[in-house]
Structure formats: C-alpha cells, structure tokens
Amino acid sequence: MLLAGGGVARAQTGKPRSAKDLTLRLPAPTGPYRIGVTTLFLVDHARRDPWEALPVREVMATVFYPARTVSGYPVAPQMTRGAAERLPFIDPLFHEGLPVKGVNWAATRTHAHTGAPAQAVRRPVLLYSPGGGDPRTLGTGIAEELAGRGYVVVTVDHPGDGSEVEFPRVRAGRKRVRETVFRGDPRTDPALFRTVIDTRIADIRFVLDQLEALAAGQNPDAAGRPLPQHLDRALDLRRVGIYGHSAGGTTAAETMYEDRRIHAAINLEGFLDHPPESPGQEGRLFPIAQYGTDHRPLLLLGTDGFPHQKELERSWSAMLARSPGCTSRRELDHAAHWVFTDYAALAPQLQAAGLMTADNRIKLIGALDPAVSIPLVRHHVHAFFARHLPVC
C-alpha cells in the first residue's frame, strides 16, 4: 500500500527518448502453455467515480489465458504507449530512485500474444489487484507464469488510484491516460484509505460480474472490441481465486470475505486493518481479520525488508489467530516490498545500466538476486493455487 517518497512536484524527463534508451526485459514464464492476452474496457453505470467528477466508474483489465495457437498473433507490450509515456513523470514520485530518463518503457514486451484464440477448456480464474498507486501492468510476470501453467488470470487497474491507466477512448471529464490522484501514503489519511479499499473491492466484484457475462456469451467490453475466440469457454467461474500486492493484498483478502464466489486468496504484504483515526489508537480490523476466513484458504506472504512490519504484525497475527487452520504465513528473506512486482526483474537491470543505485534497488526489492527471488515468489503463488484451485 505504501507510496514511498510521495511528493507534490512532478518528475521531469528532461529530454525526449533517444535510440540509446534502455529496453527492459521481463522473465519468461516456465509453464507448458503458450499465452494469449486481451484487454477489457469495463464501465459500471451503477457507480460514480470516487476520485473525479465522472458519472460512471470505468475499469481496465487484462486477461491472460492458455492459447490454442499463437501463430500470426503479435506479442503484446507490457504497457500501452500512452501509459509508458507518462510513467517517468509519475512513478519516480512513489518509487525512490526510479530513473526519470534513459528507459524506453514502451519497448518492453511480454510473452503473451494479443487476441490469440483461447483453448476451449474451462480453467480456474485468478484475479489480481496491484499495490496502491501501481498499475496492473507491473504484475505481468506473475500473471504470465500462472497463465502458462493453465490459469486464466485477470489483472485489474483501479483508475484514479493506479499511477497511469490508458483507456481505448476519451470521455468528458478525463484524459485518455488517467493519472493517480495520490501524493503520498493513503494510510496517513483514514478516510482516504477507506475510499481506496472500498473502491477496489467494488471494482473487483464488478469485474467478476462482467466475467460472468463473458462466460455466458456476452461481450462486456464497453468499446465493443472483439474478444479472442473461445475466451468465453475458457472461464470456470466455479473456481475463482484472487491475489494482490500491498493495497491489492488488503483488497484480495477482504473481497474473499465479502464475496462467496472467491474460494482462495493471497495477500502479498497488505495491511488487514484500517489506519488509526488518532495518534496512539489502534486501527479497526477489517472483517476478514476480525472474524476469519470461513474455511476458505488465505496465504499471507511478506518480506523481511518491509519497513512497517510492526504495523503489519497486529492485523496479520489477528488473522492467523482467527483462522489457524485456513490461514498460512510465509516470509521472504533479503527481500523488500516490491519484490512481488515486475520491479523484481526490472530494478536489477536498471542498476546494471547505471540508472538506479544499489541502495535504491535494495529499498525497492531487496538484495536477493532475481534468479532466486523471481522463481521463489512464483513458486509460493503457484503452489498455493495449485493446491486449492488445481487446473485439473
């Protein structure tokens, strides 16, 4: 949830992108399936946007899935060009030491193929909610790993919260690329934090509603863009899990509590309590930590480098006490908060290119070598879902 180094000034790129700018690479997935990908533009007409004067709530989502074939279908970029162009103006405000120039963020490619036909096999569906202020695109590596192992993975942006979210079309009241409203850590403002989590939970439940429409043969994309062949036949919505990082971890755990359609959840270092209303007080526990999981499994996965372990410990200990048979806890050594994102792979490349210092890399993801940290995080996430929501 934490937004490190939040300030009010804009970061400046200084110079236009040059041919010498670094192209970053994502680690390849290790599963047996080739991967297709598509995006969904979803509009909830029953909700107003909480951050801007918009009469509806718009959500962007990316769907990764096992593909029947990828021949002739282009490899997708990690992020859209519009979002990539805004990233160096925004993300360095929240992640200390990220370069404001020297990287061609639009050049990073995934291992998924845009619009490839899906395998017409019902598969478990996993939802992903990113950290506070982060875009869904920073969860690409884990999403591809899970899709390559047979899951349909839906990564969800929370516009107004996420750093930069590009839509397929403009709307009165917002730009095509919508930027975060955050300028610091939302946990310092209890009312703001409530809005963050309440909005995210409503976003996830709305996306799940739209996936049900998709599985029933409808096209929920508000722009009417065509869906990949057989995508509707790839969704088994009787087997749904969720995982999330930081604020997304809070969202994942509490959404499982509130929505019986979700059968398993992973919280990647997210608080399970509200911030205190006044100094010296304790924040109110979320219902998932107060009452337990009702026999549905929850994994709490953290790092030894998280600077707010003391604050996190209260709600995680309460969670374990309420559901000792259903909740498990693991910790990564020599790792830090954003090791659960694509920064685990990207930050070492930035350091090697002289675009990030070793100290800032360690603050962001820890000192653990990506050859160790990336397979380790993937193992914990996949092993949990393979046990509780197996593909076969």
Determine the length of the chain: 392
For residue 261, give both structure tokens.
């359609």
pLDDT at 18: 63
Exposure letters 186-221 (e unless 16+ CB within 10 A, then b): bbeebebbebbbebbbbbbbbbbebbeebbeeebbb
For residue 117, give both structure tokens.
């036909």
| pLDDT exceeds 80 at position 9 | no
| pLDDT exceeds 60 at position 181 | yes
| pLDDT exceeds 80 at position 5 | no
pLDDT at 334: 98
Q: Which residue has the higher pLDDT, 118 or 2?
A: 118
3-state class (DSSP) for residue 153: strand
pLDDT at 10: 40
| pLDDT exceeds 90 at position 126 | yes
Rounded-to-integer distance, Cα 125 and Cα 66, Å: 12
* Direct distance between the N- and C-terminal alpha carbons of the chain, in angstroms, rounded to an integer: 34
pLDDT-derived band at 14, boundaries 50, 70, 90: very low
Q: What is the DSSP track for 97-145?
A: T--SSSB-GGG-EEEEEETPPBPSS-EEEEEEE--TT--GGGGHHHHHH
pLDDT in tens, 269-303: 999 999 998 888 899 999 999 999 989 999 999 99
pLDDT at 379: 98
What is the average pLDDT across 203-228? 98
- Contact in structure between 272 and 255 (CB atoms under 8 Å): no
- Contact in structure between 302 and 339 (CB atoms under 8 Å): no
Sign of CA dihedral 353, 356, 359, 363: negative
pLDDT in tens, 351-386: 999 999 999 999 999 999 999 999 999 999 999 999
Rounded-to-integer distance, Cα 302 and Cα 335, Å: 9
pLDDT at 164: 97
Rounded-to-integer distance, Cα 151 and Cα 340, Å: 19
pLDDT at 19: 61
pLDDT at 218: 98
Q: Which residue has the higher pLDDT, 10 or 118?
A: 118
pLDDT at 20: 86
| pLDDT exceeds 70 at position 3 | no
3-state class (DSSP) for residue 281: coil
pLDDT-derived band at 13, boundaries 50, 70, 90: very low
What is the average pLDDT across 190-219? 97
| pLDDT exceeds 50 at position 228 | yes
Rounded-to-integer distance, Cα 94 and Cα 132, Å: 10
pLDDT-derived band at 183, boundaries 50, 70, 90: confident
Task: Give the least confident one: 236-245, 257-266, 319-328.
Answer: 319-328
For residue 29, give both structure tokens.
């997935």
Q: Is residue 139 classed exposed, middle or buried when 0-12, 13-18 and 19+ CB atoms within 10 A define those classes?
A: buried
Rounded-to-integer distance, Cα 332 and Cα 334, Å: 7
Mean pLDDT of the chain: 94
| pLDDT exceeds 60 at position 186 | yes
pLDDT at 324: 87
Phi and psi torsions of 163, nearest 5°:
-60, -45
CA 95 to chain centre: 16
Percent of the chain with pLDDT over 70: 95
pLDDT at 178: 97
Rounded-to-integer distance, Cα 107 and Cα 312, Å: 37
pLDDT in tens, 249-269: 999 999 999 999 999 999 999
Exposure letters 255-279 (e unless 16+ CB within 10 A, then b): bbbeeebbbbbbbbbbbbbbbeeee
pLDDT at 4: 36
Percent of the chain with pLDDT over 90: 90
- What secondary structure letter does DSSP report for 31? S
pLDDT at 156: 98
Residues with Cβ < 8 Å from 82, sequence gap 6 or more? 164, 166, 176, 177
pLDDT in tens, 146-179: 999 999 999 999 999 999 999 999 999 999 999 9
